[in-house]
Amino acid sequence: MTAEPTPKPSRLVRWARALKADLALYTLAFRHPDTPWLARAVLLLTLLYALSPIDLIPDVIPVLGYLDDLILIPLGLALARRLISTAVLDDCRRQLAERDSAPKPSWLKRLGAACVIAVWVLVALAIGYVLYN
């Protein structure tokens, strides 16, 4: 059997991966002592807007509801990137590379799995209790 080549990730998948990497970078930049207060404020406001249940245009309006999120959040991140010096961003990229290359302890993975299983067991017990009574 010949192995088929793996399909190339779609443009949207590549964009989502880049955004995830950028979020980790901005998290480190937010905590960096040399980041200006204005950049921190822009990052904080962008994050709060992204997580807020209140939007400029409600999400229930088709297309327009998500359009404000697709415009304002990348604009906020782009503005923050312009406000943060390249030295700070380079330092944060270096920290990310060191953190990603460090080996993850196996006990941490087991602890995470145990927590997920415990939550599901508690949910099942709660449903069973409600149905029983």
Q: Is 43:26 a contact under the CB 8 Å cutoff?
A: yes
pTM (2 decimals)?
A: 0.60
CA distances from 36 to 79, 88, 113, 124 (A): 13, 10, 39, 48
Same domain for 83 and 27? yes
pLDDT value at residue 24 = 84
pLDDT value at residue 88 = 95
Same domain for 32 and 60? yes
> Which ranges of the chain have pLDDT less than 50?
none
pLDDT value at residue 14 = 83
Same domain for 83 and 127? no
Same domain for 92 and 68? yes
Q: What is the pLDDT of residues 31-59, one digit of tens each?
A: 999 999 999 999 999 888 877 777 777 77
Same domain for 93 and 59? yes
Same domain for 63 and 125? no
Total domains in the chain come to: 2
pLDDT value at residue 4 = 67
The Cα 20–Cα 16 span in angstroms is 6
Q: Is 79:42 a contact under the CB 8 Å cutoff?
A: yes
Same domain for 64 and 125? no
Residue 4 within a domain: no
Burial of 79 (0-12, 13-18, 19+ CB in 10 A): middle
Residue 123 within a domain: yes
pLDDT value at residue 133 = 82
pLDDT value at residue 2 = 61
The Cα 14–Cα 10 span in angstroms is 6
Domain that holds residue 111: 106-133
pLDDT value at residue 31 = 93
Same domain for 45 and 62? yes
pLDDT value at residue 3 = 62
